[in-house]
Amino acid sequence: MAVEIRVPTLGESIVDAVIVKWLKQPGEQVSRSEPVVELETDKVNVEVPAEQAGVIESHSRNEGDTVAVGELLGVIAAGEATAAAAPAPAAAESDATPAAQAVVEPTTEPVVSGANVAGSDARRTNPAARKLAEERAVDLAGVSGSGVGGRVVPNDVLRYTPAASAAPLAPAPPAAAPQAPATAAASIGPSPSPSPSPNGTGRDAREERVRMSRRRQTIAARLVEAQQTAAMLTTFNEVDMTAVMETRKQRRDAFKERHGVNLGFMSFFTKASVGALKAFPRVNAEIDGNEFVLKHYYDIGIAVGADEGLVVPVVRDADRKSFAEIEGEIIELATKARESRLAISELQGGTFTITNGGIFGSMLSTPILNTPQSGILGMHKIEERPVVVNKEIVIRPMMYLALSYDHRIVDGREAVQFLVRIKELLEDPMSLLLEG
């Protein structure tokens, strides 16, 4: 009995996807639950598994096509592939191990197969790393994985440099053809610049066209939408990080020994944000038509820079979590983001967002709202600067803070007081145990 391969439900508000890669070709054998096609959505990559064992009978859509939820992708026929029906595989493919149990959400990674990896060296990798390796013609068999469980992640591909001895010797250049003498007409005036080919791939082309991924297109659309639909404004303040840094220094070793995670800055800022959101609830709200939706829970989005662009996984109920729980969850979500393993559910929702440009060296910025949220906090680089304390000039580790907010729902007075409240909580970390 034949079974149809259809685009699964992809999550709230996601109605279509792009076919990134067919993992199984017509005539190839497939096991039940083995991934057969990889889809790229606005937020994550999704592998669609086979609902039964059999043979891929046909593909209804091609790689690069946009497909809607429920649309037919292909057909799996019952039975086994025959030598006549199945395409002749490469030697490296014949020993490839089929992928382990997979689900619609990208919680498992496919086993790399194909000409790049021999069966005995097959390893787990994520879709982004595999795609990058294909684009750069990198042999994954020689790439060491630094991800969880030794999986290959995009940074491993970017860092990979083949041994010089493995590089084939370049053929000797052909002898230069004798140059014809310049004519009188050609010798007058400067020589014209060679024209690049229309598709930008000519020898003298200085431009390159790179297709925007589905995720990058969505990021671009959402950023423009945020600026066009919200009355966005940014207010600034600065915080003395002395107390937070001293607390971390005193508690760091004991915290790591007890909880198994480092005591970072993000847990302090998350707790301070929760305390300020409780004091100014409209920063934790959103607009729905002619109503404010006030949210009495605190799902804090943490912006993470990934290869495919910025993603914002969410720490749920941050007000109910300890410092250790927040730190552990942020580390887990950030690791998943960089390895393209985030589930759609981990990106949905969120009532307030924190973004840290300071880890890249940013001194000051105006973050853009993560709509429909009404506020986003921007952290920046800690710099030692001279400040006046008790009428004396002292050197303190200072950080600029930025709060972008939707002026339609949050007044300027509230925004300023919200940021002042975060400053007060951070400069007195013990208060976070009560207020945060």
Do 52 and 95 form a contact (C-beta atoms < 8 A)? no
Do 376 and 352 form a contact (C-beta atoms < 8 A)? yes
407 is catalytic: yes
Question: What is the helix, strand, coil percentage profile of the chain, to 5?
Answer: 30, 25, 45
Quick one: which H or E segment has residue 168?
Answer: none
For residue 355, what are the contacts with CB-CB under 8 A and spacing of at least 6? 303, 367, 376, 377, 378, 379
Quick one: which H or E segment has residue 237?
Answer: strand 232-240
Do 409 and 287 form a contact (C-beta atoms < 8 A)? yes
Between CA 371 and CA 223 the distance in angstroms is 9
CA 435 to chain centre: 32
Do 153 and 339 form a contact (C-beta atoms < 8 A)? yes
- Of residues 65, 317, 411, 428, which has the active-site annotation? 411
428 is catalytic: no
Sheet holding 45-49, edge to edge: 45-49, 35-40, 16-22, 66-68
- Of residues 65, 253, 296, 407, which has the active-site annotation? 407
Between CA 131 and CA 360 the distance in angstroms is 26
Between CA 244 and CA 399 the distance in angstroms is 12
Between CA 6 and CA 75 the distance in angstroms is 9
Between CA 131 and CA 284 the distance in angstroms is 38
Between CA 405 and CA 110 the distance in angstroms is 41
Catalytic center residues = 407, 411
